[in-house]
Structure 1
Amino acid sequence: MKVNLLLAVIGCAVVGVLAQNKTSATTIAFSVRKAATITNQFLLQASPFNVQFREVLTNDGAGWIPTTGEFIAPKSGVYFFTFSVMSAKTKEATVALMKNSDYQVTAFVNPGHNMATNSAVLSLKAGDSVHLVVQEGEIYENPLYESYTTLSGYQISSK
């Protein structure tokens, strides 16, 4: 009887510790879409410029900052990022994923409403910034419901 009671107490303690660890772990993930555009069709800014987004799909962990168009790492760790862009009808585009002010990976897309994507796994320190920059050319964004420009990321592991 004492052994069963002891096992029950230990079991409750283990369940409590596991539940506590699960609730203290915060998911860090974001996904944004629809590049903010001047004409609702394509970007007419001189490059290079930071891509701003109109819609936030997910912002778990509050790392995405809509007002600046950048992800600020809430915690140090390893993160996965992926992005997609569409070129304007008559111009190509070169778009880079930036870590702070350093180029990480670049996507080039030919004119004619073509798509390009790229992704990277990055080691970030808390406070590091990740954002998209149009290095040259123009990107297209549908004026209605479809979204062609996207940026997503999530933490793989913490340090």
Structure 2
Amino acid sequence: MPSINIIEELQKVKTLEVKMKSMEAAMENLKLSNIVLSEKLRNIKEDIKIENTEQAKVAFSATLKDTDFFIVMGPYKKDTTLVFENVLTNIGNAYNSKTGVFTAPVRGVYYFSFVTLCPQGMQKTSFVALWKNGAQVVSSSANFEVPRLLIDQSSGNSVSLLLEKGDRVYLKLLSDKIIYSDVYKRDSFSGHLLFTM
């Protein structure tokens, strides 16, 4: 029958107790680290939420020119981007009044609308289209080539678009067409973010 060395076995138990206490201390440290990391993660999520909320405030509205007299724009030989210089609202600064281009600051669904004027007596058609990244999306027109129409005509359209961050939206006056601008600011281009995606 084998003999048991009690002192040796007690040493093994003590060694196991020391290892166990060391492991318990390590587990306590891991719990504390987990609490600290969870708090940091919660703060980061809150910061991102605040940042997205701030970025989500996007709206603009502008008219063609702020003028005391009337201006006929066009006809041009090629399609021409319209620059709505008179900015009424530009929350988020996504609309550029020097280029006429709206650039989406965040991915989301945006709503755009525009109205243009073609006055009576011009004997030309007005035709304006909304473009996204080089592709025509929607358009509107007013026809004054019919002589019996003796009133100003407005035309317009609107659309909701899913845009990626950096997508560009703008209006173009088609070649050989005209629009009119005056003190009453009857030409406008507006857009705003409905919601982020």
Q: TM-score, normalised by structure 1?
A: 0.78
Residue segments in structure 1 that go unaligned for 5+ positions in a row: 1-16
How far apart are 1:35 and its partner, in Å?
4.5
Residue segments in structure 2 that go unaligned for 5+ positions in a row: 1-44, 145-150
User: Which has the higher Rg, Structure 1 or Structure 2?
Assistant: 2
How far apart are 1:135 and its partner, in Å?
1.2
Measure the CA separation in 2 of the matches of 1:68 and 1:33: 13
Counterpart residue identity of residue 180, structure 2: Y
Q: Equivalent residue for 1:156? A: 194
SS at match of 1:140: strand
How far apart are 1:40 and its partner, in Å?
4.3
Stretches of 4+ aligned residues off by more than 6 angstroms: none
Mapped contact 1:113–1:140 kept (Cα < 8 A): no
Aligned with residue 141 of structure 2, among 108, 116, 121: 108
Cα root mean square deviation, aligned: 2.3
How far apart are 1:140 and its partner, in Å?
0.7
Q: In proportion to residue count, which structure has more helix?
A: 2
Measure the CA separation in 2 of the matches of 1:126 and 1:108: 30
Measure the CA separation in 1 of the matches of 2:131 and 2:90: 19
Q: Equivalent residue for 2:180? A: 140
Counterpart residue identity of residue 132, structure 2: K
The within-5 A match list for 1:3-152 is: 25-26=53-54, 27-35=57-65, 40-46=70-76, 47-89=78-120, 90=122, 91-111=124-144, 113-136=152-175, 137-142=177-182, 144=183, 146-152=184-190
Q: TM-score, normalised by structure 2?
A: 0.64
Counterpart residue identity of residue 88, structure 2: L
Seq. identity, %: 29
Q: In proportion to residue count, which structure has more strand?
A: 1
Counterpart residue identity of residue 82, structure 1: S
Measure the CA separation in 1 of the matches of 2:98 and 2:64: 14
Q: CA 1:61 to 1:24, structure 2 compared with 1: closer, same or farther past 3 Å?
A: same
Measure the CA separation in 2 of the matches of 1:82 and 1:34: 14
SS at match of 1:68: coil
